[in-house]
C-alpha cells in the first residue's frame, strides 16, 4: 500500500489549541474512518484505504492509491484525486497539493483558496530564513519554487520576494537567510532576512565546484574565500564581496586539496604566470598551468609536462606513494583534453574533445568519433564509435553506440554485444534495461537476456 508521508522540516512555535483535533483513526471491515475520540461519534465514513492525521490542518485520506484532504471536522477539502498533499514547512494553514501530473499548488486552509497555483516546487530543500536567533524557529514561511525551469522565492500567503527568473537557487546552511542566486552563468549572494544583495555578480571556473557548497547546500561564512570572476577579471572573494585577492587577473587557480588562507594560488596576467601566496606575487616560469594533483601543480614547461611541488617549491617527476591512486588523470588546455601519467608523462596530447578515465583505461573523442585507449595511450579500439559511456565499473563494461545502435564492450576492448539495440541503460545490481525497437527487457553484463 502506498504510504502517506508528511514532510517535517522545521519546528514552528505553535500553541496546542491551534493544533486541536478531536478525531482519531478507526478501522472497520478493513476500511479506515475517523471518530471523535471522546464521544466516538463518526466524523468520516469507513471508506478509505488509509488515513493519517495532519496536525492542525485535518486528515489525509486515501482511495484508489490517491490522496485527498478532510478538515478537522471531517468535511472534505479535496477529493482523493491527488498524488500527494503535505504541509508547507509544518505550517498547518498551508498545504502543497500535487496532482497526478506532478504539478504543485499552495492552498490556504484559512482563506479556502489557492495562493500560488500550478508551479513546480522544491519544498524538500527549504530555504533557511528568516528565523528567530534564539529559538531557531522560522518566523515566516518562505519557499523556493520553480516554473518552466526558472526558480524564484515566495513568502506565503502570496508575496513574491524574488521573481521566477533564476536558473538555480542554492540554499545556505551555516548563514541562515543567505542564498546563492544563479542567472545566465553568473552568481550573487542574497540575504533573505534583509532583502539585500551581498556581492557583485561573479562567474565561476566553468561550474560551481569552487563555491563553498556541500551536497547541494551552501556553507559559506565570512571567512570563506573562493575564486570569482568579476567584470572579466579573476580574484578571490567571500560571500559579502570582500576580496582577499583583487579581481585583476586573466586566469586564477587555487589548490582544491588544501584548506584555509595558505592554499597555493597561481594567477595569469600580461602573458605571464605568477604564484600569489601570503600576499606576495612572484613570477612562475611556466608555459601553461594545467591543474592540481594533490600537493602538486601540473604544468607545461619547455614543451614538457612537469609536476611542481607546492610545498617544496620545485619542479620534479614524482611517483604517488599510495598505490591505489589513479595512475593517469585528465587535464584541459584551451578547451581540449589530454591525459597525464603519474610519472610526469603526457600520454595523450591536448587534442581531444572529451576524455573519461576509469582506472587503467580511458575513452576519448576526436573528430566526432570515440576510441578506447590504455594507460600508455595505446588504442585498444580505434576512433570509430559515435559514443562510448560507462555501463558498470564493477563489471568493467562500457556502452557503445554506432550508427544509432547500442552495444556492450569490455574494458579490455572486446565487443561483448555488437551495436544492435535501440537503447541500453546503465547497469544497476548487475543488470541493465535494453530495447530492441518496441520490445524492452533486461540483460546482464555479458549481454544475456534475464527472464
Per the omega criterion (within 30 degrees of 0), is the bond before 451 cis?
no
Angle in degrees, CA 277, 281, 284, rounded to 5 = 95
Provide the residue count of the chain: 451
Domain positions in the chain: 1-132
Q: Is pLDDT at 130 greater than 60 in this prediction?
A: no
Residue given cell 499548488 in the structure block: 105
Span 137-158, mean pLDDT?
73
Cβ count near 23 (within 10 Å): 22
Asked: is 1-132 a CATH 1.10.20 domain? The reply is: no
Q: What are the angstrom distances between the C-alpha of 229 and each of 180, 187, 391?
A: 15, 10, 37
The per-residue pLDDT for range 176-222, each reduced to its tens digit, is 678 899 999 899 999 887 889 999 999 987 555 667 776 667 777 77
Measured distance CA(219)–CA(169) in Å, rounded: 14
Residue with cell 528567530: 132
- Whole-prediction pTM: 0.65
**Per residue in 368-409, pLDDT tens?**
999 999 888 899 999 999 999 999 988 899 999 999 999 999
User: Is 78 a residue whose pLDDT tops 90?
Assistant: yes
Amino acid at each position: 500500500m502506498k504510504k502517506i508521508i508528511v514532510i517535517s522540516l522545521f519546528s514552528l512555535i505553535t500553541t496546542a489549541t491551534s493544533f486541536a483535533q478531536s478525531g482519531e483513526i478507526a478501522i472497520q471491515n478493513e476500511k479506515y474512518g475517523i471518530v471523535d475520540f471522546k464521544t466516538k461519534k463518526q466524523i468520516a465514513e469507513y471508506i478509505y484505504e488509509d488515513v493519517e492525521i495532519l496536525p492542525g490542518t485535518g486528515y489525509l485520506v486515501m482511495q484508489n492509491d490517491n490522496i485527498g484532504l478532510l478538515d478537522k471536522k471531517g468535511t472534505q477539502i479535496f477529493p482523493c484525486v491527488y498524488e500527494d498533499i503535505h504541509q508547507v514547512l509544518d505550517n498547518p494553514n498551508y498545504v502543497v497539493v500535487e496532482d497526478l501530473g506532478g504539478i504543485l499548488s499552495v492552498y490556504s486552509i484559512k482563506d479556502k483558496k489557492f495562493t500560488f497555483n500550478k508551479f513546480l516546487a522544491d519544498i524538500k530543500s527549504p530555504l533557511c530564513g528568516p528565523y528567530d536567533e534564539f529559538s531557531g524557529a522560522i518566523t515566516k514561511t518562505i519557499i523556493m519554487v520553480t516554473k518552466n525551469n526558472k526558480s524564484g522565492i515566495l513568502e506565503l500567503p502570496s508575496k513574491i520576494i524574488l521573481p521566477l527568473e533564476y536558473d538555480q537557487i542554492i540554499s545556505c546552511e551555516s548563514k541562515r537567510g543567505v542564498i546563492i542566486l544563479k542567472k545566465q552563468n553568473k552568481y550573487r549572494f542574497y540575504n533573505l532576512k534583509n532583502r539585500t544583495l551581498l556581492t557583485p555578480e561573479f562567474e565561476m571556473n566553468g561550474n560551481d565546484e569552487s563555491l563553498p557548497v556541500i551536497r547541494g547546500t551552501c556553507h559559506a561564512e565570512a571567512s570563506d574565500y573562493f575564486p570569482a570572476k568579476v567584470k572579466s577579471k579573476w580574484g578571490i572573494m567571500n560571500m559579502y564581496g570582500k576580496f582577499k585577492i583583487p579581481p585583476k587577473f586573466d586566469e586564477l587557480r587555487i589548490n582544491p586539496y588544501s584548506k584555509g588562507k595558505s592554499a597555493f594560488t597561481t594567477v595569469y596576467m600580461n602573458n605571464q604566470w605568477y604564484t600569489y601566496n601570503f600576499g606576495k606575487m612572484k613570477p612562475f616560469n611556466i608555459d601553461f598551468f594545467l591543474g592540481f594533483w594533490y600537493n602538486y601543480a601540473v604544468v607545461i614547461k619547455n614543451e614538457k609536462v612537469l609536476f611542481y611541488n607546492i610545498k617544496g617549491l620545485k619542479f620534479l617527476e614524482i611517483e604517488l606513494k599510495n598505490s591505489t591512486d589513479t595512475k593517469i588523470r585528465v587535464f584541459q588546455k584551451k578547451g581540449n583534453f589530454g591525459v597525464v601519467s603519474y610519472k610526469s608523462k603526457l600520454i595523450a596530447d591536448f587534442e581531444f574533445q572529451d576524455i573519461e578515465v576509469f582506472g587503467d583505461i580511458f575513452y576519448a573523442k576526436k573528430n566526432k568519433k570515440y576510441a578506447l585507449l590504455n594507460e600508455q595511450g595505446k588504442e585498444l579500439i580505434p576512433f570509430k564509435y559515435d559514443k562510448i559511456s560507462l555501463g558498470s565499473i564493477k563489471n568493467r563494461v562500457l556502452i557503445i553506440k554506432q550508427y544509432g545502435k547500442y552495444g556492450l564492450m569490455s574494458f579490455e576492448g572486446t565487443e561483448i554485444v555488437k551495436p544492435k539495440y535501440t537503447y541500453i541503460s546503465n547497469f544497476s545490481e548487475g543488470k541493465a534495461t535494453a530495447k530492441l525497437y518496441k520490445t524492452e527487457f533486461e540483460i546482464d553484463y555479458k549481454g544475456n537476456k534475464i527472464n
